[in-house]
Copies of this chain bind each other. A is one copy, B any other.
C-alpha cells in the first residue's frame, strides 16, 4: 500500500542521535553520542520514598486526570527554580510539558506558518531543528561566537528578512557547542527583539549545571515586553524518565501553549508531576545538583585533558564551563560522518556535527558528551578517538 501522507511528513526524518543511540546500547561501545545524564546519580532511593508517599496520601488524585496547565504545587516549585536565573514568573505563567522537547514542538506549532522564518544559532540543537522542520519554516542561522550570536549578523537578518517569527537560542552551555552567551549579548538580544518585534525562545536545559565562573541571569530576566518564552526541563537536574519540562511565558502566550497542550495530549502525567513536586519541596535538590556538577566537571576535565594531550594541533575544541557537551572542530577537508564510522569500528561513538546545522554543508565537526560515561571509559574512548583522528589527518 502507498498511503497519502501530509506534506509536512516529507521533511521529517529519524533523528540521527536517537538512531545512533540504538547502536550504542551495546555494552562494549564507549559513547560520547547521546545527551544522557549520568544514571548512577539519579536519586532512586528518594523516589522510592516519594512514590509511596504520593500514592498513600493522594493515590486517587495522582492516578486521575488533572488540569492541562499542570499540577499547581509543581508550577509553584518551578517559579522558585526560575529565580536562580533571576526570572520572575508566576505559577499561572507556567505550563507543564512532556520534557522541553514538547515545548519546542509547541513553539513551532504556535508561531510558524509554512514559509515563515526561524532565526537560530549556527550550529543549534538537532532536536529543535527537526521539531521545527515539521512546520515547514525557512531557517536563517547566525554564526555562534564564543559569547553568543554575532549580533551584527542578527540585526542585519532582522532588518532584511520578512516573517521572522522567533529567534531560538540556547544561551547556557549550548547543545551542541557548550558555548555560553555573555550578559551583554543577552541584553542586546532583548533590545533587538523589542526593536524588530520578534519573539525569543530561550531553551535552557543546562543553565543550572555551571561548574565554574559566575551564574548568569537568564534572557527571560531582561525581558521587558513579555516576548521571551522560556523552556525548562527536569531531565538534566533530576532525571529524564519522568518526561517533565515546562514553558514559562507571559499569560497571553502561555495560554496559547495551554490550548495546544489540550489538543495534543490533554496534560502531563499527574503522578509524575506530584512526585517531582514533592522532591523539589521536601528533598534537597540543591545538594543533588552539586553532586551532578562535581561528577560532570571531573569528566569534562578528563575529556579536555586527553584532547589537549593527544589531539593534533589543527583540531580545536570548546571549553564548556558547564553542561554536558564539548564541540570539536576538525580541518575543513575532514568529513566527520566518515570519522564516525571509523570510530564505531573502534567501539567509540559521537554525533557528527553536520546534524546540528539547520542548513546543510558543515561536516567538519563533532559533538562530544562527557556526562554519560564513567571516568575510565572517557579516558579510554578519547584515546581511541585521538587515534582515529590522527589516522584521518595523515
Binding site for B on A (CB under 8 A): 1, 3-9, 12-15, 18, 21-22, 34, 36-37, 39-40, 42, 44, 47-48, 51-52, 55-56, 59-68, 97-99, 101-102, 105, 109-113, 116, 127, 130-131, 133-135, 165, 199, 225-227, 235, 239-243, 250, 252-253, 256, 259-260, 262-272
Contact = CB atoms under 8 A, between A and B. Distances in A.
- Give the number of times this chain occurs in the complex, counting copies: 2
B14 A262 contact: yes
Contact of A59 (B9, B34, B47, B56): B47
A240 B62 CA distance: 9
Contacts of A55: 44, 47-48, 51
B15 A262 contact: yes
A162 to B, nearest CB: 11
A6 B110 contact: yes
B268 A12 contact: no
A241 B271 contact: yes
Given A110-B9, A241-B62, A252-B1, A67 B262 contact: no
Given A55-B47, A259-B13, A105 B264 contact: yes
Given A48-B51, A48-B52, A63 B240 contact: yes
Contact of A6 (B67, B111, B263): B111
Contact of A111 (B5, B36, B256, B259): B5
A200 to B, nearest CB: 11
A134 B262 CA distance: 11
Give 7 nearest A-B pairs by CB, closest first.
A44-B59, A63-B239, A51-B51, A39-B60, A63-B241, A241-B270, A98-B265
